Structures are given as structure tokens and as C-alpha cells.
Amino acid sequence: MIQLFFPLSLRELWEIRSRFPQSRLFAGGTDLFVQRRYQTQDESPLIGLERIQELRTTAWEGDTFTVGAATPIRQLLEDDSVQTLLPVLAQGLACMGGPALRNMATIGGNLCTASPAGDSLPPLYVLGADVVLHSEFGRRSLPIKEFILGPGSTSLRCGEILHSIKISRPPPGSVQWYQKVGQRKANAIAIVSLAVLGRSAPDGGFQSIRLAWGSVGPTVITSREAEACLESSPLTMEKVNSAAQTARQAVAPIDDIRASAEYRRMLSGNLVYRLLR
């Protein structure tokens, strides 16, 4: 029989982990439970984090939003400040599965799964999010781009958990946008996704812009070269053409059951044209 624990505090969590160092952690469990269904020989203990209140809190401190790693996606989508001040994140989270999954899934789980198609990742990249990692012996902070190393791979060290995510409020009036292309309108895994955060120029161009593509490389793909194409005013078709072509060269897609690498590369550039809207 598999042992299952639900600690109520970090102190209790460290105690359980010291007794069962081979245990697996989960919050919503929407990925882990699917894996365990096919790993019938794996009987390592499971530790659920969703009852540790410290990991489920959200708060604004000045212009910094801190969200606990075990916060459910639904809770974030119901937060008016996320919808108003961080719409690119809200749009990404709203694309994640269906209502039942969003009730269980957590933002920290989506990060720790480290899927290139994860819907929260491109928004968090353009928002410049930092992750806070916690162990029994202390804390450390990393930019999200240093936390995600590859498919299913993160910078978590032995004994660490993802404690929280910190997001700085974008400047007022910023353009924020997330779009993904899937094989259907709902419950779709991204074939390609694009998150955008930009500061508008008076003539309709961009003073600055960040772009992040999902599902077209081992991690989220960014391209300073493509961004630079769009950072001079006014925004012309020639500049968008250049950014789209640069994006197609920057991504590193693969063939899989959802789409070919060639199709993903084409879409990566095509999504840039939607900035003209």
C-alpha cells in the first residue's frame, strides 16, 4: 500500500521528508497521478502540499505580486488583480485544461512539470517572474529562465520545494497578450503559444517589448533579435515581417503527434502578425 501524507506546515513537511527521502511531492496531482497510473511498480510515498496554507497565499506588496506555489489555477483566475494587472498571465491560465482540472491544478505544479507546452510559462517569462525555492536549511531565488532547464527538468535541489513565485507589476498601459494554437478550442495542449508584454509608443509602436514562445523548444524560447525588430516606431509591416522571420529562425521545434516541426516554425512567425491588431 502506498503511503500518503498531507502536512499542515513546512516544519511537518521537513519531518516527513527526513523519514521518507524517496517520497514524491504533489499539489493538485494532475500530472503525477496520471504518471503513477502507468508506473504500477512505483510505491514511493506521496506527500500532498495543498494543506500548507503558506503555499496557497497570494498578496501584493507594493508593485510585487507573490503567489504561493500550491495556489490553484482557479483561485488565480478569480483574483480581480490578476485579471486587471496581469492579463497575460490570466489569459494563459484560462487556457489550461477545463474547469475541473483548473480546480485542482496549481501554478507551482505547472512550473515544476516544466513542459515546454505549459500555459503559465510564456506569460511568466515575459513578466520576468522569479521563483523562490525553500528547503529545511534556507531559501534562494532564481529568475524563471534559470529555473526551467528542459522538459521535466528544473533547478530544484535535493530537499527543496518551489515555495512561491514573485511577479513585478508591469508599467501602467502595457500591452499584454497570450495566444496559443491547439488542435481544438478547449482542453488542448499547445502546438505553439506566444506571450507578449510591451510598452506602447505614442504613435502606436513599441518602446520596448518581450516575446516568449511555448511548445517550440526544450524550454520557452525568447528572441532579443525579434524583439528589437519591433522596438522602433511606427510599427510597420516591414518590421513585423522581419520579426516574424527572426522568430522562425530562433525557435527549435520538433515533430510529434500534434504537429510537425515545419508547421510549428511557420506558426511561430505567424503569431507575431497578430500584434498588428
The CATH number covering residue 190 comes to 3.30.390.50
pLDDT of residue 254: 92
Pairing outcome for strands 46-48 and 4-5: parallel
Residues 258 and 216 in one domain: yes
Q: What is the pLDDT of residue 99?
A: 87
Answer yes or no: do 30 and 136 share one domain: no
- The pLDDT score that the predictor gives to residue 182 is 84
Same domain flag for 36 and 83: no
Quick one: pLDDT at residue 38? 67
Q: Are residues 140 and 89 in the same domain?
A: yes
39 shares a domain with 142? no
Q: What's the pLDDT at 186? A: 64
Q: What is the total count of domains within the chain?
A: 3
Q: In angstroms, what CA-CA distances link 77 with 122, 140, 184?
A: 17, 27, 22
Check whether residue 150 and residue 221 sit in a common domain.
no
Residue 198 shares a structural domain with residue 224? yes
C-beta neighbour count of 105 within 10 angstroms: 24
Whether 96 and 162 share a structural domain: yes
Tell which of 114, 137, 168 closes a domain. Answer: 168
pLDDT digits (tens, 9 = 90+) for 80-122: 999 999 999 999 999 988 888 899 999 999 999 999 999 999 9
Which residues of the chain are under the pLDDT cut of 70? 33-34, 36-42, 185-187
- Domain CATH number, residue 67: 3.30.465.10
Same domain? 57 vs 151: yes
User: Do residues 153 and 72 share a domain?
Assistant: yes
Q: In this structure, are 69 and 82 located in the same domain?
A: yes
Range of the domain at 210: 175-276
252, 272: one domain: yes
